[in-house]
C-alpha cells in the first residue's frame, strides 16, 4: 500500500470514529473530507473488514441514504444497529440525509439544521 493511500485510510477511519450516535456520513463525503474526492469506492473498500472493530462503521451509508452492505452480508446488521440508535428508515429503506447526515463542523457550533427544524 502506498504512503498517500495509507494516510488517506487513516483520515477516513479518524472521521468515522467521530460520527455521533444516531447520525451518518456517506462514502463520498468521507472521501472528500479525507482529501480524496472521487475516491468514494476506496472508502467502501477500506471499511470492508471493519465490522469487528469498535469503530461505528454502521454509520456510513451511500449518498442516496441507503444501506450499501447487503451485498456483503452486513445489511440487516447495519440497519438494525442504526435503528437502535434512533435512525429512521422510510418505506423505500432510505434515511433522511437532510436530517441525519453529520458534518464535522457541527462539533463546536451547530450549523446544519438537523434538529428537526
Partner DNA sequence: GGTCTGACCAGGG
Partner DNA sequence: ACCCTGGCCAGAC
Which residues bind to DNA, rule: CB under 7 A? Answer: 1-2, 5, 26-29, 38-45, 47-51, 57, 60, 62-64, 68-69, 71-72, 74, 78, 92, 94
Helix axes 40-47, 3-18, angle to 10 degrees: 70
**Least distance in Å: CB of 100 to DNA?**
14
- Beta bridge pairs of residue 60: 25
63 φ, ψ to 5°?
-65, -10
Cell of 82: 442504526
Q: Which is nearer to DNA, 18 or 110 (CB)?
A: 18
Q: Which is nearer to DNA, 20 or 37 (CB)?
A: 37
Which of 17, 22, 19, 21 is closest to 89 using CA atoms?
22
**Least distance in Å: CB of 34 to DNA?**
12
**Least distance in Å: CB of 95 to DNA?**
12
Half-sphere exposure of 112 (CA within 13 A, CB side): 13
Q: Which is nearer to DNA, 49 or 110 (CB)?
A: 49
Element (H, E) at 25: strand 25-26
Q: Which is nearer to DNA, 74 or 102 (CB)?
A: 74
**Least distance in Å: CB of 6 to DNA?**
7
Amino acid at each position: 500500500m502506498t504512503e498517500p493511500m495509507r494516510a488517506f485510510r487513516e483520515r477516513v477511519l479518524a472521521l468515522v470514529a467521530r460520527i455521533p450516535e444516531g447520525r451518518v456520513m456517506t462514502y463520498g463525503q468521507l472521501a472528500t473530507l479525507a482529501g480524496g474526492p472521487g475516491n468514494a469506492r476506496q472508502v467502501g473498500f477500506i471499511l470492508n473488514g471493519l465490522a469487528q472493530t469498535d469503530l461505528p462503521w454502521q454509520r456510513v451509508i451511500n449518498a442516496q441514504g441507503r444501506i450499501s452492505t447487503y451485498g456483503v452480508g452486513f445489511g440487516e446488521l447495519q440497519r438494525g444497529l442504526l435503528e437502535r440508535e434512533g435512525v429512521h428508515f422510510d418505506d423505500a429503506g432510505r434515511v433522511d440525509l437532510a436530517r441525519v447526515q453529520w458534518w464535522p463542523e457541527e462539533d463546536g457550533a451547530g450549523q446544519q439544521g438537523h434538529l428537526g427544524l
